[in-house]
Structures are given as structure tokens and as C-alpha cells.
Amino acid sequence: MSSSTNTPTHHTSTIGSIGTPSRRNTELALLVFAVVIPVFAYANVGLAINDSVPPGLLSYGLGLGLLAGVGHLAVRKFAPYADPLLLPLATLLNGLGLVMIWRLDQSKLLRSLPNFAPAAPRQLMYTALGIGLLVAVLIFLKDHRVLQRYTYISMFGALILLLLPLVPGLGANIYGAKIWISIPGLGTLQPGEFAKIILAVFFAGYLMVKRDALALASRRFMGLYLPRGRDLGPILVVWFVSILILVFETDLGTSLLFFGMFVIMLYVATERTSWIVFGLLMSAVGAVGVASFEPHIQTRVQAWLNPLHEYKLSQAGTHDGILHSEQAMQALWAFGSGGTLGTGWGQGHSELIRFAANSDFILASFGEELGLAGIMAILVLYGLIAERGIRTALAARDPFGKLLAVGLSGGFALQVFVVAGGVMGLIPLTGMTMPFLAYGGSSVIANWALMGILIRISDTARRPAPAPAPSPDAEMTQVVRP
């Protein structure tokens, strides 16, 4: 009896990496919109002011498009799996800021001020430098984990940057805040904008090593797990340094940003709500303590509590040795006259805020001409940048990358809150600038560098894992199918 046997067929199944789309074409399409919208706004401003399309429309559109294209090509080449939203969002905000700065340059009132110089050309130059720095970050920072090696060097570097404005002959006191350094031929620079990035590197490296000790609790009090006394040292040191910044540089914004970013990263690293409570209490104690004897901080608090009274004192030219600010009240009037839909591009009067209309109070300029709807749209754009940064942190495969992404995006969101809250009267004014929107070389260049680091981390996080190397024992893992 013959039996027929079927010869089994051997199929080897190999587990490969799941192909993740790079989404670079999506980024390119979004960049087109991010360039077209500011160009359309630029044309609107020209039509509103001069009843004609501005002659520089084509050059502005080509310039912004070229800068966006350079950034896109760098991301496509050196970070092909990066988040596709970060670059278009930053480009759109930067482009809208350029339009508003150019619109204020056309104001007859501002042109009549002494030492007036058009700010838009310089802002475009700063934007080009910022995107150049973004490209440099993508080219030379192949892996964000390299930054972990420079944890303590970052701490010393950041402290040097924060102390530079106090150096005699180098620091410059502008409108009561000693946060600037004067560089011959280049004007003024705000080193604190760069220090926040370097501090995020230090905090991420430090907390990655110490997070287990900082997460330990000694006792429970009112529903909170209190940290051990020996672990309070780091937060006390950071709090003390932030108070020193507030005292010697009278810079409320940098002090809040510096300490707040550390508390955010500390909470993410330890998952202890008690650190948030401690951070808020220490911030309040420090701010109230310094405000009790520092006249510059007292002026800002008074302008927040009673802006109309400060405005009247400023208009009356009261000579009591205190610089009374009228800008807080003017910003509220700008928001009020804007209403829901705004007066329209080029049809507001935010130039009455004078020199700060394109820097500290540029959000009030947008609030008047774009209204509540425009402000909400701008805040949504900022929220999307923060959300993509947090998403990057969640996707990162290494703890250092997670903490660094949280620190950068959390610090970015905190700066937006501090500036927007001050201009809208929610908290006292801080003198910081709105990222990407406001005029200022330090802010624009530093925030483009921040975007570069976030893009690098997101590229590493979204990059598909490589396929496993073939095993010499592959025969043992073959799947036999008849």
C-alpha cells in the first residue's frame, strides 16, 4: 500500500519595522498656508492704510517663503520623521508678527518719535538668523542625548548668562529691568532667552538621575505626600537663585519662568503633586517679599491692581520718584475697542502704546485689530505648539528626551501665559516678549533654536525602530506551513 505524502513547504516569516510615514509632504502643504496667510494679511494692511497693495508684498512673500523653504529642506534632510506641525506653526506666528511690526512702522505717531527706526527689516533679519540657528541645530545635533553629557556645564553656562546683565559696563538698564547686555554694533541682547534653553538641559539631566530620591515621601499631610527634608535642597537652591534674579535684575518674568519650568519638570519626573503646591507657595512668598521693597515691582503691581489710576498719574506727570505706567490701561482699551472681530488690519490705534506696541504689548495690537476671535486663534496656535511638544515627550524612548521635551514645551507655554496674562490684566506685567510675535532679536533667535531641539527630539521619537538583525538560529524560528 503506497501512501502519498505532501512535501511541506517552508516559509520563513521575518518581523520587520513598521514603516512610519515621514509626513514631510504634509509639513510642506502646511507651510504653504503658513506663508500665504501672512502675505494676505500684509496686503490687507497696505489696502487699509494706503488704499493700495504695498509695493513690498512680493519681496515679503518670497522672503518668508524662502526662509520657510530652507527650514523645511533642513528638516526633510536631517530630521525626516519629525513632527510635521512644529515648523509650520512657528512660521505662521513669526509671519504674522512681522506683518504687525511692519503695520506699526507705518504709524505717523511712531514715526514722529525721536530715534525712530523701522523695526520690520531688523525683525526679518532676526528671523533669518533664527532659522539659520534651527538648521545648525539639526545639522550638528545628531542625537539629543548628547546634551546629557553637559548637564553641569549647562548649569554654569546658564548662570553666567543670567549674571551677564549685572556686569558693569556690559549690562544695560532699560525701563527699570536689568536684563539686557549692550554689544557695540549689534545693540542690546537679552541673555535670559537663551538661558532658559540651557537650563532645561540641566534640569533634564539632573532630574533624570535624582528623580527616584525626589519622589520619596516622608509623611502625608492634608492629602499631600510631603518630600523628605533632605530632598528639599534642589528646589530651595533654584528658588533662591530666582529670587536673586528678581532682586538684582528686577525681572519678574525671567524669575517666574526659571522657577516655574523647574517645578513643571520636577512634577513630571516625580509625579508628586506636592511639588506643584510647594512651587506655587514659594513663588508667592518670594514675589510678595521682593515686591515689598523693590519699587519697580511695586509699580507693576499697582498698574495691575489699578491701571486707570496709574494712567492718570502718568498723564498728569506726577513727580514722586516712581515711574507710573500708562500702558496697562492702554492695552485694556485696545482689547475693548477690538471687540469680537476687531477693527481690521491697519485700522486700529494701538500705536498709542508707543514703543511697546510691537514688543511687550504686541498682543494688545492684535487684540484691537483682530478682536477676540483673532486672539483666540493665536492662543490656539501657541497651544498646538505646546501640545506637540508634550506629545513628543510622550513618544520619546529615553527619560532624558522626555524631560527635555517637557521642559522646553512647558517653559514655552509658561512664557506665553505670563506675557498674555500680564497684557490682559490677569497677572502683573513682566516685561517679557511674546514668542515669535513680538519684536526682539534675542526672543526670535532663541525660540527658533528651541524649535530645532524639539524637532530633533520628535524625529528620534517618531523614527521607526530598525529591523532586528538576522539570527544564526533562524531555522529554529521558521514557521512551517503545509
DSSP 6-30: PPPEEE-----PPPPP--HHHHHHH
Query: pLDDT of the chain along its 482 residues, tens only?
Result: 444 444 444 443 333 334 567 788 999 999 999 999 999 999 999 999 988 898 889 999 999 999 999 999 999 999 999 999 999 999 999 999 999 999 999 888 888 888 788 889 999 999 999 999 999 999 999 999 999 999 889 888 888 888 887 777 776 666 666 677 777 666 677 888 898 899 899 989 988 887 777 766 556 666 566 666 666 667 777 877 777 777 776 677 778 888 888 889 888 888 877 778 878 888 888 878 777 777 777 788 888 888 887 878 777 766 665 666 788 888 899 999 999 999 999 898 888 887 777 888 899 999 999 999 999 999 999 999 999 999 999 999 899 999 999 999 999 999 999 999 989 988 888 778 899 999 988 899 999 999 999 999 999 998 887 666 565 554 444 544 44
Q: Is residue 14 part of a domain?
A: no
Q: Is residue 372 part of a domain?
A: yes
Chain mean position to CA 400: 19
At 138 the pLDDT is: 96
Q: Is residue 212 part of a domain?
A: yes
User: In one letter, which amino acid is 236?
Assistant: L
C-alpha cell at 456: 530633533
At 324 the pLDDT is: 66
Q: Residue 114: which domain range?
A: 21-462
At 13 the pLDDT is: 36
Which run of H or of E encompasses 174?
A: strand 171-174
Map grid coordinates 506643584 to a residue. Answer: 276
At 376 the pLDDT is: 96
Q: Is residue 469 part of a domain?
A: no
Question: Cα–Cα distance between 324 and 320 in angstroms, integer?
Answer: 9
At 357 the pLDDT is: 79
Question: Cα–Cα distance between 27 and 87 in angstroms, integer?
Answer: 8
Question: Cα–Cα distance between 364 and 437 in angstroms, integer?
Answer: 12
Q: Strand ranges (DSSP E) for 184-264?
A: 187-189, 217-221, 224-227
At 480 the pLDDT is: 46
Q: Is residue 4 part of a domain?
A: no
The burial of 423, by beta-carbon neighbours within 10 Å (0-12 exposed, 13-18 middle, 19 or more buried), is given as buried
For residue 480, give the 3-state DSSP assignment: strand
C-alpha cell at 464: 521607526
If phi > 0 it is left, if psi is from -120 to 50 it is alpha, else beta; for residue 182 that is: beta
Query: Are 85 and 79 contacting, i.e. CB atoms less than 8 angstroms apart?
Result: no
Distance in Å from the first CA to the final CA of the chain: 23
Question: Cα–Cα distance between 237 and 398 in angstroms, integer?
Answer: 27
Taking the complete model, does pTM exceed 0.85, yes or no? yes
For residue 281, give the 3-state DSSP assignment: helix
CA max distance for the chain: 121
Q: How many CB atoms lie within 10 A of CB 15?
A: 8
Q: Is residue 2 part of a domain?
A: no
Question: Cα–Cα distance between 121 and 135 in angstroms, integer?
Answer: 21
Q: How many CB atoms lie within 10 A of CB 234?
A: 16
For residue 134, give the 3-state DSSP assignment: helix
| Contacts (Cβ under 8 Å, ≥6 apart) of 453 | 137, 141, 144, 197, 404, 408
Query: Are 337 and 354 contacting, i.e. CB atoms less than 8 angstroms apart?
Result: no
| Contacts (Cβ under 8 Å, ≥6 apart) of 88 | 27, 30, 31, 33, 34
Structural domains counted in the chain: 1
Which run of H or of E encompasses 67?
A: helix 57-78
User: Angle of helix 233-248 relative to helix 192-215, nearest 10 degrees?
Assistant: 160
Q: Is residue 1 part of a domain?
A: no
Map grid coordinates 536684563 to a residue. Answer: 179
Q: Is residue 474 part of a domain?
A: no
